Each structure stands twice: as C-alpha cells, then as structure tokens.
Amino acid sequence: MKYINNIFTIEKSSLTKIIKKFETPIFCYSEKKIIENINNFKNSFKSFSPIICFSTKSNSNLKILNLIKRNGLGADVVSKGELMIALKAGINSKKIVFSGVGKTRPELIYAIDKNILLINSESKSEILEIESIAKSKNKKVDIGIRLNPNTDAQTIKQISTGKKENKFGVNEKTFIEISKYVKSSKFLNLKCLSVHIGSQILDYKPYQKMLNVLDKLIKKTKLNFEYIDLGGGMGIDYNKDNKKFNYRKYNQIIKNFLKKYNSKIIFEPGRSIIGDTAILISKIIYIKENSKKDFIIVDAAMNDFMRPALYGAEHKIIPLKKTNKMINKIYDFVGPICETTDKFLTTNKFQKLNEKDYIIICDVGAYGSSLASNYNIRPKPAEILIKGTKINIIKKRQKLQDII
C-alpha cells in the first residue's frame, strides 16, 4: 500500500479507480498483506509451531475468515455467532477455541455439539454449567481455564484485560480450586491453561511477567497442561513511528519457558494479523470554517469505524491524492453523527483540503468493520478485497430498506 504518482494504491489497484466504481465510505483490504502477515507470524514462532487461532472478533467478515483459513489458521471465538461464522468459513472445529466471561447455556451446548478444540472457561459457575451439559450428553468435554495473571499490559486501560480489577479470567486461588474440581470430574478434561492480558501491546515485558506467573503456578500445582494458550495482543505500528513489537524476544522467552514444560502453545492473534491490511476511504462532504480550526466533515462516522470514539484510539489520516500543498492549520476530522465523540482525528499540518476530496483512514482492518453499527440508521459500509488488479466485493453495503 503506497502512493504511486501521488495516488494511493493498494497492490496494483489505484484508489481513483475504486472511487469511480464504488460509493464511500468503503473498507478496502489487501489480500497480499493479509497473507504476508500470517506468514510473518508463523515464521516468528516456527521453532515450536504453535496452533494459531485468529481472533474472530477483530474481523468477522466471512470472506476474510475463509482467506485466513486457507492460510492455515484456526479461530478464537467469543459467541455462538462467531463460532457459527468460523465454521461456515470452513475452519475445522478442532482448531477453534471459545473464550468469554458470559457464555450462555445454549452457546455452550452448541460448542459442545460441535466438538471444538477447547472451551476456555472463566469462572467456577461456568465450569458447573459445562459439566451439567456434558453429563446430560454423557460426553467428556475438553476444558481450558483462563487465569487472570494480574499483569499490567501497559496498553490503553479500555483494552487491558489481565489485571485483577478486570472481569476476565480467575485469580490464582480460584484457578487452583477449579482445576482440582475439573480433575475429579468424570465429564471434564483439564487440557489447557489460558491467558490473554490485553491488546495493542508493544513491549514484550508484560508477556515476560505473564509467563513468570504461569511458570510459578505450574510449579506450585504440578499440573500438566497439554496446551498453554497465550492469547493475542501483539500491537501494531499505528503511529508509524517504528515502535514495533519485538517478536524475536517474545519467541525467545516462550522457548525458554518450553524448556521446562512440554505443552503445545496456542496463540489468538487478531490485530497483528489484520490491523494494518485495510483502509477506510471517505469523502469530504463539507468544510466548516471556524476561527481556530476547520471542521472537515466526512461521510464516514463512528458507526462505520468506532475505535477513535470508543477508546480515543488515533488512526492516521492521509489524502487519497497527494498535492503536497501543506498548510499549518488545525483540521478536525469529524463524521456526521450527532455525538461529540464522532471525531476521528485532529491534525495541525495537512495538505489544503477541499470539499469533495477523498481521505483515507489507515489501519482499520482490526476492530473496524466488526464493530460497525447502524447508529443514526446509517447503513454499514461495503468491504472490498484487493488482489493485484482484481477487486472482490466481500460485503455489500447495507441497504436502508433492509435496516428499516
């Protein structure tokens, strides 16, 4: 993805071609980039060949999931709907893990009937629910228990999940209590210790701390786990300031850990696979001039792409056509939705913009389309997958009639 003759281009498709053919806002993915990310991820950990379960909540487009499946990944799901779509994408049930704090009985029944790899349980009550279903079906169900390792992931607080005040997983004491119970059950198989400490983690040190916690716990309990599920969370370079996650270091500390324990590692990456593979194209509707700053009112909004409004996340905005006529002026890029938080970014240096120009919001592949909503009765955008010069529509723009 780069500018060619000042026009932003994905693989061999210039975006001027795309805006002639399609309405905006529109999500555009690069197939090549997705495959490249999957291969890089696999290569980073090839010495212990982990099971890689793509986090379906980061992007749940059926065609994307199918592409990911064809490149060898499984899925991490957090609802019956995600499990259904992962299966529909062709992902083998023995490559699917199910996480989440509030799985309902019907969801658990469905997962048990589909014989998935693991149900990663997050409470004693849930364990009892799984056991009662397993008993009624006279089955033995493979279980993981999610530990809350009380580790600060040093990421934005809204996407931190591994501290004791977060709702996820169980503390060490409960973990030990539950694991004893599961061991003694005729209907449950304790197969996995799972953790997931948060998202957009750029430093390997929180993972080091997390592994130390696991190490101590395993030593203390003398439990044997066929699988250790380390979750996802590896961050990407949203700010383009070359702060990249150190995969080499992470690989090394896991290899050291595996010298002591003979377990299969599971990963659940989302953002690191799909985050930087897509952009959102949007058109400027109006420019509202103001004494201190100009409001650039675009046709994308928080319902299409929610991360800035939801977490204060910053995503780079760049022009579709570069003019290089830079001006020092404050631009507030906002959407049409009736909420003050419907704002993407403030910049103080940008090329001079005009009404009807197109802009690009960068790195929207993860937690982009999967978080889109119909707020303000706005249809969800179309999604296209680019492969060289080929453009495939992988989701049609919703029709207003269908929503209404």
Q: Encode burial over 283-303: b for 16+ CB neighbours within 10 A, e otherwise.
A: bbeebeeeeeebbbbbbbbbb
Residue 28 catalytic?
no
Residue nearer to ligand PLP on the CB measure, 41 or 350: 41
CB 366 → ligand PLP: shortest distance, Å?
Answer: 6
Residue nearer to ligand PLP on the CB measure, 235 or 319: 235
Q: Which two three-digit tokens encode residue 15?
A: 């975006």
- Taken as a whole, the chain contains a residue count of 404
Binding pattern for the stretch 240-279 against ligand PLP, x by CB under 6 A and - elsewhere: ----------------------------xxxxx-------
Q: Is residue 60 within the footprint of ligand PLP (CB under 6 A)?
A: no
Residue nearer to ligand PLP on the CB measure, 317 or 366: 366
Phi and psi at residue 2, to the nearest 5°? -160, 170
Task: Please tell me the count of residues contacting ligand PLP according to CB under 6 A.
Answer: 18
Residue 322 contacts residue 351 (beta carbons within 8 Å): yes
Residue nearer to ligand PLP on the CB measure, 185 or 369: 369
| Active-site hit among 28, 53, 192, 338 | 338
CB 391 → ligand PLP: shortest distance, Å?
Answer: 26
Q: Is residue 307 within the footprint of ligand PLP (CB under 6 A)?
A: no
Consecutive H or E run containing 94:
none
Residue nearer to ligand PLP on the CB measure, 274 or 337: 274
Sign of CA dihedral 288, 294, 298, 303: negative
Binding pattern for the stretch 128-157 against ligand PLP, x by CB under 6 A and - elsewhere: ------------------------------
125: which residues sit within 8 A by CB, 6+ positions away? none
Choose which of 30, 50, 57, 162 interacts with ligand PLP (CB under 6 A): 57
Query: Can you list the alpha helix ranges (DSSP code H) found in 158-298?
Result: 172-184, 205-221, 247-260, 271-274
CB 194 → ligand PLP: shortest distance, Å?
Answer: 8
- 3-class DSSP state for residue 286? strand
Q: Is residue 123 within the footprint of ligand PLP (CB under 6 A)?
A: no
Burial label, 326 (beta-carbon count in 10 A; 0-12, 13-18, 19+): exposed
User: Between β-strands 317-319 and 358-361, what pairing exists: parallel, antiparallel or unpaired?
Assistant: antiparallel
Footprint of ligand PLP on this chain (CB under 6 A)? 55, 57-58, 76, 78, 99, 196, 199, 231-234, 268-272, 366
Active site residues: 338
